[in-house]
Structure 1
Amino acid sequence: MENFQTPQFPESYWRDSVKLPTFPKLQESIKVDVGIVGGGITGITTAYLLAKQNLKVALLDAGVILNGTTGHTTAKITAQHGLIYDEIIQHFGIEKASLYYQANAEAKQFIEQTVDQHRIDCDFKKEDAYIYTNAKSYLTNLENEKKAYDQLKIDSELTDKIPLNMLVKSALIMKDQAQFHPLKYLKVLTEKSKENGVQFYEQTTAVDVEHNNNPAIVTSEGHRITCKYVISASHFPFFDKESFYFSRMYAERSYVTAIKSPKDFPGGMYINAESPTRSIRSTSMNGEDLWLISGESHKTGQGDSTITHYNKLKEFAHRHIGINDVVYRWSAQDLTTLDKIPYIGSITKNEDTILVATGFRKWGMTNGTIAAKILTDQILEKDNPYKELYTPSRFQADPAVRKFARMNADVAKHMIKGKLEYTKNNIDELSTDDATVTRINGNRTGVYRDQNNELHMVDTTCTHMGCEVAWNSGDRTWDCPCHGSRFSYTGEVIEGPAKRPLAKIDNE
């Protein structure tokens, strides 16, 4: 294939194509009605809804808003979440499958109505969503999913052709779904929320919750946000309250390449049924089609050198679509729960003042939006038809027990394996923009040599539960294979559950 250069540094098209507002760091303790931790689609939509009800809201983010999973999504607004409905019916019954579909359809409707209400220019576009396969072994899966759609009265069609110039054996269409530019949409919700009195704070890390008469969010600098309700919308819950969320979810990374092709995009949103995942949609960039090719999911901190995942997506695009240029690449991290349904609601069964939303399994545009509605209704003491379906305190015997055992056996394996693995590389021979794991003074040490030939050395023991992190060459981060914590090459926390940075090693 032709040698199209992969962009050297990962950058999201969404973030590069919109100017977002900036907000100050929290410098003092404050009191509000609701404190929200996390500036993604869930946190911002919840703040927007609560402020409309005249509640006093503060939203804080450890970095800058819309730079987490929401800023790195593929931004499909759809209730088609892979092959999910037949599975939900088999495990939990048709009523819960129907509720899951209705919740995500309601989220899609809310986004569309909000776009219309505020006349938001966010490239909102209705598209059919396709699950396709060219593998004979998946034909039955698609047929069973179609039967599930029929039981749930989902407008759909089973076909053997798709608008893309690709051979497929079968494809299942969910009609009338949508896509948009998520940050153009959420920028307006942020502005509307600010107009309604929401206080936004960036570079403000929440580390704990204290309980007196009311809960208080404690920041890393010791400030407190005292409130009636705390919402953890920080991707991974920043506060656990002995709920062991790290053992009830697993983290996966997936990758996106944005390409210009000689072909016009024919419309539609696509994802294959088999592995490795190949997801395809388009967006408009300066009047041209920008094809977004994503997939290559793997558990965080495990698998191939991460740069190879971008290359595999590029090879797929070259083979099936054709490439004029590769203009962006980025990756995202997503959490999946034991039963694949997100955890939304009270953090524990008996704790109604601390709420959580997590585990969206790569479908955060609709799940994050319905989470905002569920959490808002709970705070306003209004009934919500989806509350029980998403409650975090559920623990289904099937398939949760088996999944729980497998996940935690995998954690144990990687914890032991990591303690034994290291290289004997001579760090003096390390190339620029490369990393290795070695032992320095008997300690397992991660070493990265940056573009300026400067060495950055960290203790590779994850500060969450002691697993050993692995180098992520695609994003220049240290990633934990056990519970998905991620750290910059200087050791700072990028994603939890870890709260403390990796210890720096003196390279003198």
Structure 2
Amino acid sequence: MTPIPPDVHRSYWMQTADMPSSASLTSDAEADAAVIGGGIAGLSAAWELCRAGLSVVVLEARRLAGGVTGHTTGKITALHTTVYDRLRTEHGEDAARLYAASQSVALHRILEVARDLGTDCDLERRPALTYCEEPDGVEALRAEAEAARAAGLDASFVTETGLPYPVAGAVRVEDQAQFHPLAYLRGIVEDLIARDGRIHENTRVTEVDSGDPCRLTTSAGHTVSARHVVVATHHPVFDHAALTTRLTQHRDLVIAGPLPSRRDPEGMYITREGGKRSVRTTPLGDGRRLLIVTGEAFTPGTGEDTEAGYARLRSWTQERFPGFEESHRWAAQDNSATDGLPLIGRMRAGGENVYVATGFAGWGMTGGVLAGRLIASLVTETEEPWAALYDPGRSGAALGSAPAFLKTQWDTAKHFVKDRLETVGEGTNGPVGALGAGESTVVRAGGGPCAVHRDDQGGLHAVSAVCTHMGCLVAFNNGERSWECPCHGSRFDVDGEVLQGPAMRPLERRNPADLDLDGRPDA
């Protein structure tokens, strides 16, 4: 087993998986299908399409699985907190059954692929549990257990778990799984390449023309012609169907550290209490496992103190797992559709041959594999029975979730206007001259908002504070040293380079020498 590297600020999965590297696209290309995005959804779609006999090219803006997939917790389960009681209430019992069946198919697809490819990905069968510590949460979990069982899962309500602390109750579903997600995808990539699939990293697609064939243009000016295009970029960056208005973003903090195997809680656990807490382990060898704890959910771009969030998560973990010492920490970003169901299928307004996969609501391991299988079935005209459930153009999807939809729009409009009114005077975190190491502020400079960060060596980094996606103002994440947009979740490093879309262009750099260190407003 690979030893834990010393860099605590990176995902354990990314540190310990030797993902194959691929050259960027350097010339025009053609394929039956072009997949934009190299996470689990994009790679699963590419692999399924390649197996179906299509020529495939994958275009990834940065590194394979380096985004959301590389920062997951790696649970493979059809139990998604309390989704089934809500589904049968809002969408009907048939929807709940289809959801359970499709998520279970994705789970078994992972097991099947790992077995057939001989992939060593620390795959383990474990029960999944949604629990509560407070008695007032028991009634909801009893209802969820009944709804999940009615939907077809092997679900039960229990009061005893493998956790080292008492719970008031839990929904338990047997025979779920967990794995090393990047080790699993390494097997997918190797098999995809063996089947003559093409992969190009560091190749950002900036435009999609949905003609027949479709025509993709990269930031380097090269083009790819393809009959079918899959947009698997987490947030749909080519949003012809206005899917942005139906998605909300959130981030979760993750900490991890070694645990003696004898203290393994032997399951995958999650609760919505206390800002969400998720607990699982993965094997390290030498009689140890890595305890992975997730929580402190927040909306990116709101300027929350993420360092304080990490401290709260660490304190919670040390209280329940005495002796815990953090060896890794990272954060994950997820998006959710306003009606609670992923958006997988034809983008509709983007053209009949453009497909999208998004809105997995934190359950991207089964969601991404399901998306690959579903999109491949649409392309080959062998539709799955649950295609309509996830169809991005499903009837009433936005209207049926009107309160959530309207709140999303209001939050975006609020940030667009309110942030500009507040970005005056001495800045959002005081004047530039008063910034200490690791601190940031947003000030007026040169007639516009300027995002300024002072690094640990005392140097200043200055960029435009206007997100290049739709113009909202970014705020600083002090735990990850990144600028984030509160409207649609785009993320940038301190020099403005894109870390996460939907933004495709970096923040414009500013000259720190031109800043007023006292923070006086522009004349």
TM range (shorter): over 0.9
Q: 1:324 to 1:154 in 2, by over 3 A?
A: closer
1:193 is aligned with what amino acid?
A: L
Which residue of 1 is the match for residue 135 of structure 2? 136
- Determine helix, strand or coil for the equivalent of 1:128: strand
- Distance (whole Å) between structure 2 residues aligned to residue 350 and residue 465 of structure 1: 19
2:347 is aligned with what amino acid?
A: I
- Distance (whole Å) between structure 1 residues aligned to residue 209 and residue 436 of structure 2: 47
Q: Which range moved further: 343-352 or 102-111?
A: 343-352
Which residue of 1 is the match for residue 389 of structure 2? 389
Is 1:434 aligned to residue 439 of structure 2?
Answer: yes
1:448 CA displacement: 1.1
1:275 CA displacement: 4.1
Is 1:471 aligned to residue 476 of structure 2?
Answer: yes
Query: What is the identity percentage for the equivalent residue pairs of Structure 1 and Structure 2?
Result: 34
> How do 1:23-62 residues align onto structure 2 when only pairs under 5 Å count?
23-62=22-61
1:430 CA displacement: 2.1
- Distance (whole Å) between structure 2 residues aligned to residue 503 and residue 472 of structure 1: 19
- Distance (whole Å) between structure 2 residues aligned to residue 278 and residue 34 of structure 1: 39
Is 1:415 aligned to residue 416 of structure 2?
Answer: yes
1:501 CA displacement: 1.4
Structure 1 unaligned spans of 5+: 1-6
Structure 2 unaligned spans of 5+: 1-5, 514-523
2:122 is aligned with what amino acid?
A: D
Contact between 1:216 and 1:224, CA under 8 Å: does it hold in 2? Answer: yes
Q: 1:212 to 1:303 in 2, by over 3 A?
A: closer
> How do 1:200-279 residues align onto structure 2 when only pairs under 5 Å count?
200-241=199-240, 243-261=241-259, 264-279=263-278
Correspondence for 1:494 among 499, 502, 516: 499
Contact between 1:10 and 1:331, CA under 8 Å: does it hold in 2? Answer: no
Q: 1:227 to 1:397 in 2, by over 3 A?
A: closer
> How do 1:70-109 residues align onto structure 2 when only pairs under 5 Å count?
70-109=69-108
1:449 CA displacement: 1.7
1:67 CA displacement: 0.3
1:219 CA displacement: 0.8
Contact between 2:40 and 2:69, CA under 8 Å: does it hold in 1? Answer: yes
- Distance (whole Å) between structure 2 residues aligned to residue 97 and residue 239 of structure 1: 30
Q: Which range moved further: 139-148 or 254-263?
A: 254-263
- Distance (whole Å) between structure 2 residues aligned to residue 102 and residue 231 of structure 1: 24
Which residue of 2 is the match for residue 346 of structure 1? 346
- Distance (whole Å) between structure 1 residues aligned to residue 333 and residue 398 of structure 2: 27
Contact between 1:438 and 1:445, CA under 8 Å: does it hold in 2? Answer: yes
Contact between 2:344 and 2:371, CA under 8 Å: does it hold in 1? Answer: yes
- Distance (whole Å) between structure 1 residues aligned to residue 398 and residue 498 of structure 2: 34
- Distance (whole Å) between structure 1 residues aligned to residue 477 and residue 104 of structure 2: 36
2:335 is aligned with what amino acid?
A: L
- Distance (whole Å) between structure 2 residues aligned to residue 452 and residue 61 of structure 1: 33
- Distance (whole Å) between structure 2 residues aligned to residue 165 and residue 222 of structure 1: 56
Structure 1 vs Structure 2 CA RMSD: 1.6
1:163 CA displacement: 1.0
Contact between 2:343 and 2:359, CA under 8 Å: does it hold in 1? Answer: yes
- Distance (whole Å) between structure 2 residues aligned to residue 211 and residue 303 of structure 1: 37
Contact between 1:138 and 1:273, CA under 8 Å: does it hold in 2? Answer: no
- Distance (whole Å) between structure 1 residues aligned to residue 343 and residue 478 of structure 2: 31
- Determine helix, strand or coil for the equivalent of 1:474: coil
- Distance (whole Å) between structure 2 residues aligned to residue 317 and residue 60 of structure 1: 39
Contact between 2:101 and 2:152, CA under 8 Å: does it hold in 1? Answer: no
Q: Which range moved further: 459-468 or 222-231?
A: 459-468
1:178 is aligned with what amino acid?
A: A
1:84 CA displacement: 0.4
1:420 CA displacement: 2.3
Which residue of 2 is the match for residue 10 of structure 1? 9
1:10 CA displacement: 2.4
- Determine helix, strand or coil for the equivalent of 2:353: strand
Contact between 1:280 and 1:293, CA under 8 Å: does it hold in 2? Answer: yes
Which residue of 1 is the match for residue 466 of structure 2? 461
- Distance (whole Å) between structure 2 residues aligned to residue 443 and residue 481 of structure 1: 18
Contact between 2:452 and 2:461, CA under 8 Å: does it hold in 1? Answer: yes
- Distance (whole Å) between structure 2 residues aligned to residue 374 and residue 460 of structure 1: 39
1:8 CA displacement: 7.8
How many aligned positions are there? 501
Q: TM-score, normalised to structure 1's length?
A: 0.95
